[in-house]
Amino acid sequence: MPIVQFVPFSSSVHPSFWHELTKLKIDVLRLDASHVPVSASYTAGKTVVDRETGNEVGLGCHLTLGEDAFKPDAKPAKHAALIKGTMINFNTIEDFKSSDKTALFNELSDRLWAGLSPSPSAGTTAELNSFLLITFADLKKYKYYYWFAFPAFMASPPWEIGDSGWGLAEEALGAEGVKSVHGQLAELEVETGAAEQFFLLRPGAAGAYEVGRLEQWGEFFASVPEEDQIIGFLDPSSTHNPGWPLRNLLSHISSRQPGKPLSLNILSWRDGDRPTGNRRWASRYAKIDLRAAAALAEGAKRPTAVGWERNAAGKLGPRMADLAPMMDPARLADQAVDLNLKLMRWRILPELNLEKVAETRCLLLGAGTLGCYVARTLMGWGVRNITLVDSGKVSFSNPVRQPLFDFEDCLDGGKPKAACAAEHLKKIFPGINARGIEMAIPMPGHPIPPSEVEKIRTTVAELEELYDTHDAVFLLMDSRESRWLPTVLGTAKNKYVMNAALGFDTYLVMRHGPRQGTAPPSGTTEPPKHARLGCYYCNDIVAPSDSLTDRTLDQMCTVTRPGLAPIAASTAVELLVSMLQHPLGIHAPPSSGKDDEEGHSVLGAVPHQLRGYLARFNSMTITGAAYDRCTGCSEAVVKAYEKDRFNMVQRACDETGYLEELTGLKELYSESEAVMEAVDWDEDDAEGDF
């Protein structure tokens, strides 16, 4: 007769088990590597019909670990039975690898055997099966290494089954019989809160069978002849062979009658719910024999046990669950931020091009009040690359107005502002690529001392490189002349330049126009018909000069109403985003927000300049054409810079009048002076009409 082959358990872990283990380790276990009680469940083996071939396919023989595994009073799912096991969580991978697995396995097997061997008042049948689980949790990488063992005792000689093998339970017990078993098992499940793992059957009245619990063997089978005694078990296997739990049940039965040959009627129960449609009862029935139960070998405490689970490759080794995609908080933050932005697109503005905004590399010159608020708003739009430049250190008055600094940052002389701001951005959102650079930008009207020339030369080269590696520049400094070099560079390299400046209760936010002579990329709508838009200096007829020396204290600190900076900063960012959404980008025509404007982007207007008046709680849009003698963006200046680079910058900083001469403003003065002199002021005319 063929040997009975038992299908080993396959472990099936729910992600929530790993979440619970993580919590347990962090909150309770910490470094404790002692045994932790854990429970797992299994249900009757199921089959499904393969949609493509039409064949019935078994779903395996699984023992499942879920989120209730550590709860002492866990109730299993419907029609599932519970097995109690032991888990050992090692603290290092080395401990996991070098643990004495054989010793642990033997320890559990000894315990199982002690509970399984006969004793008239043997405990609950939950102890007929158990499992060992060793784990190591790599909490930095969210990888969980684990290895299961399901000890079962080898029978010697092995159990055998009749040549006809397993038949249908319905044929052996009759339709009424199977129905009656199902009914009683369902009642028992309601009573105990879990499905029975093992149970007894004896014939009853009218083709029905009576179900009893395994512990009641003695009395239940008292007056039942052996050939009518049936032993049932919940079978997790879905194929022809019976599942693992049967093995220890048979060991238990034979240990009650050592040495005696046995012939048992076994019911493999696979029907949690009644079959639907045309399906038959899945449960099976067979006769299983033990020719002669050999006595235990000399000196052996118990039969040999087997049951280590093989890994996915079929080899003896641990398995690993990689939960990083689900649990890595940085990844979760990234996805959440993206999703939030996409909601805007899905619900309100399908044409919004979020990727364009996120990809824009932003350079913020100034990490003060404006800089901090601009950085925050950019992060809100999903911008991933932000570089801050500032020469100062965090001072005690800063944190209340500059939201990227804390009190601690002011101590010990104060941290460098740019780097500190960048660090803070990363704390808010780890996925941001933020950098802070300490740099002092040279300014016209502030001659460069000879000892500093080389240093400033390097600074300018660094600044040029920053422009080359960014797409949009924000001028957020607190003086007029400090914006000159950034303006020239921005025009020369045709970058998006956003300018924001604050008065006490007024602000200016503007976008600089494109470089003269450049045109929007071909393929876009018709070329712009408006005049080239101006820069910060286009309305000036004097070059920027030293406005900082001899300032009084209140002038130096640029005292402004606190609510002004966030308004101006966020306006600057929103103006940039609206411009980015416009097909013409930097060449977008100035639009003022009236409903019939054609120049809008999907977000609305793309004005040239905004001036805001907090005292009146309103703002105005202004358009200013470029001035051909501008000291910041005219071709004369830009070309001079491109030709001589740092030398030109040095002259602008050192020599008074250089920029006026370069741009032709000097002639303008002479011309207007000449006009003034040409007027014939008639001093005698006392009676004019005014």
Partner 1 sequence: MDAEIPDIPEIPDDPASSEPHPSGSRLMVEEHIVYSPTFQVPAFYFTASDESGAPLSLNSIIRSPLFHFPIPLSSLDVQPHKVDLPGSDGSEDAAPVPLLTQGEHPTTGQICWYLHPCETSPAVKELLDHREEPPKGGWELEWLKAWFVVLGRVAYLRSG
Quick one: which of 254, 204, 244, 253 has its CA closest to 224? Answer: 204
- Contact flag: residue 322 with partner 1 (CB under 8 A): yes
Strand pairing class (609-613; 618-622): antiparallel
- Residue for token digits 């003022």? 592
Only one of the segments 173-181, 231-239, 531-539, 622-630 lies at the binding site for partner 1 (rule: CB under 8 A); that segment is: 231-239
Return the structure tokens found at 266.
């076994």
How many residues sit in the footprint of partner 1 (CB under 8 A)?
Answer: 72
Active-site residue, 557 included: yes
Residue 551 CB, shortest distance to partner 1, in Å, is 52
- Contact flag: residue 318 with partner 1 (CB under 8 A): yes
Q: Given the complex with partner 1, which of 206 and 312 has the nearer CB atom?
A: 312
- Contact flag: residue 48 with partner 1 (CB under 8 A): yes
Q: Given the complex with partner 1, which of 279 and 551 has the nearer CB atom?
A: 279
Q: Which of 22, 29, 33, 59 binds partner 1 (CB under 8 A)?
A: 59
Return the structure tokens found at 40.
């797992």
Residue 56 CB, shortest distance to partner 1, in Å, is 10
Q: Which of 29, 35, 60, 401 binds partner 1 (CB under 8 A)?
A: 60
CB proximity list for 559: less than 8 A, separation 6 or greater: 504
Distance of alpha carbon 186 from alpha carbon 193, whole angstroms: 10
Residue 44 CB, shortest distance to partner 1, in Å, is 14
- Contact flag: residue 79 with partner 1 (CB under 8 A): no
Q: Which of 306, 358, 440, 541 binds partner 1 (CB under 8 A)?
A: 306
Strand pairing class (143-153; 319-322): antiparallel
- Contact flag: residue 262 with partner 1 (CB under 8 A): no
Q: Given the complex with partner 1, which of 277 and 413 has the nearer CB atom?
A: 277
Contact indicator for 271, 79 with CB cutoff of 8 Å: no
- Contact flag: residue 192 with partner 1 (CB under 8 A): no
Residue 105 CB, shortest distance to partner 1, in Å, is 6
Only one of the segments 31-39, 324-332, 358-366, 612-620 lies at the binding site for partner 1 (rule: CB under 8 A); that segment is: 324-332
CB proximity list for 629: less than 8 A, separation 6 or greater: 541, 636, 663, 664, 665, 668
- Give the C-alpha distances (Å, rounded to integers) separating 662 from 484, 493, 532, 540, 653: 15, 20, 21, 15, 13
Contact indicator for 45, 270 with CB cutoff of 8 Å: yes
Residue 260 CB, shortest distance to partner 1, in Å, is 20
Contact indicator for 335, 531 with CB cutoff of 8 Å: no
**DSSP 8-class letter at 27:** I
Residue 516 CB, shortest distance to partner 1, in Å, is 34
Query: Which DSSP string do the residues of 77-141 spell out, in sequence order?
Result: -TTEEEEEEEEEEESSHHHHHHS-HHHHHHHHHHHHHHHHS--TT---GGGG---EEEEEEETTT
Distance of alpha carbon 43 from alpha carbon 233, whole angstroms: 11
Residue 321 CB, shortest distance to partner 1, in Å, is 4
Question: What are 416's strand-pairing partners?
Answer: 393
Residue 108 CB, shortest distance to partner 1, in Å, is 12
Q: Which of 238, 283, 591, 650 binds partner 1 (CB under 8 A)?
A: 238
Q: Given the complex with partner 1, which of 250 and 404 has the nearer CB atom?
A: 250
- Contact flag: residue 92 with partner 1 (CB under 8 A): no
Residue 284 CB, shortest distance to partner 1, in Å, is 15
Q: Given the complex with partner 1, which of 6 and 199 has the nearer CB atom?
A: 6
- Contact flag: residue 401 with partner 1 (CB under 8 A): no
Distance of alpha carbon 488 from alpha carbon 505, whole angstroms: 28
- Contact flag: residue 256 with partner 1 (CB under 8 A): no
Q: Given the complex with partner 1, which of 524 and 592 has the nearer CB atom?
A: 524
Within residues 6-25, the interface with partner 1 by CB under 8 A covers: 6-8, 10-15, 17-18
Only one of the segments 184-192, 259-267, 343-351, 566-574 lies at the binding site for partner 1 (rule: CB under 8 A); that segment is: 343-351
Question: What are 285's strand-pairing partners?
Answer: 167, 267
- Contact flag: residue 320 with partner 1 (CB under 8 A): yes
Distance of alpha carbon 316 from alpha carbon 571, whole angstroms: 63
Strand pairing class (167-168; 284-290): antiparallel
Distance of alpha carbon 158 from alpha carbon 155, whole angstroms: 5
Q: Which of 79, 202, 213, 310 binds partner 1 (CB under 8 A)?
A: 310
Residue 18 CB, shortest distance to partner 1, in Å, is 5
Q: Which of 27, 73, 227, 351 binds partner 1 (CB under 8 A)?
A: 351
Q: What's the maximum distance between 2 C-alpha atoms anywhere in the chain?
A: 147
- Contact flag: residue 304 with partner 1 (CB under 8 A): yes
CB proximity list for 180: less than 8 A, separation 6 or greater: 204, 207, 208, 209, 210
Within residues 133-172, the interface with partner 1 by CB under 8 A covers: 144-146, 149, 154-155, 158-159
- Contact flag: residue 131 with partner 1 (CB under 8 A): no
- Contact flag: residue 341 with partner 1 (CB under 8 A): no
Return phi, psi of residue 25, to 5°: -65, -45
Q: Which of 91, 117, 239, 592 binds partner 1 (CB under 8 A)?
A: 239
**Residue tagged active-site, from 61, 557, 630, 633:** 557
Q: Which of 346, 396, 504, 613 binds partner 1 (CB under 8 A)?
A: 346
Distance of alpha carbon 666 from alpha carbon 125, whole angstroms: 104
Distance of alpha carbon 379 from alpha carbon 255, whole angstroms: 71
Within residues 101-120, the interface with partner 1 by CB under 8 A covers: 101-102, 105
- Give the C-alpha distances (Å, rounded to integers) separating 621 from 212, 320, 579, 618: 88, 61, 15, 10
- Contact flag: residue 57 with partner 1 (CB under 8 A): yes
- Contact flag: residue 276 with partner 1 (CB under 8 A): yes
Within residues 201-230, the interface with partner 1 by CB under 8 A covers: none
Only one of the segments 2-10, 36-44, 584-592, 660-668 lies at the binding site for partner 1 (rule: CB under 8 A); that segment is: 2-10
Distance of alpha carbon 671 from alpha carbon 462, whole angstroms: 40
Q: Which of 28, 295, 297, 339 binds partner 1 (CB under 8 A)?
A: 339
- Contact flag: residue 323 with partner 1 (CB under 8 A): yes
Q: Given the complex with partner 1, which of 249 and 475 has the nearer CB atom?
A: 249
Residue 170 CB, shortest distance to partner 1, in Å, is 19
Does an H or E element contain 220, and which?
helix 217-220
Burial class from Cβ neighbours inside 10 Å (0-12, 13-18, 19+) for residue 359 reads: middle
Residue 32 CB, shortest distance to partner 1, in Å, is 21
Distance of alpha carbon 474 from alpha carbon 373, whole angstroms: 12
- Contact flag: residue 330 with partner 1 (CB under 8 A): no
The residues carrying an active-site annotation are 557
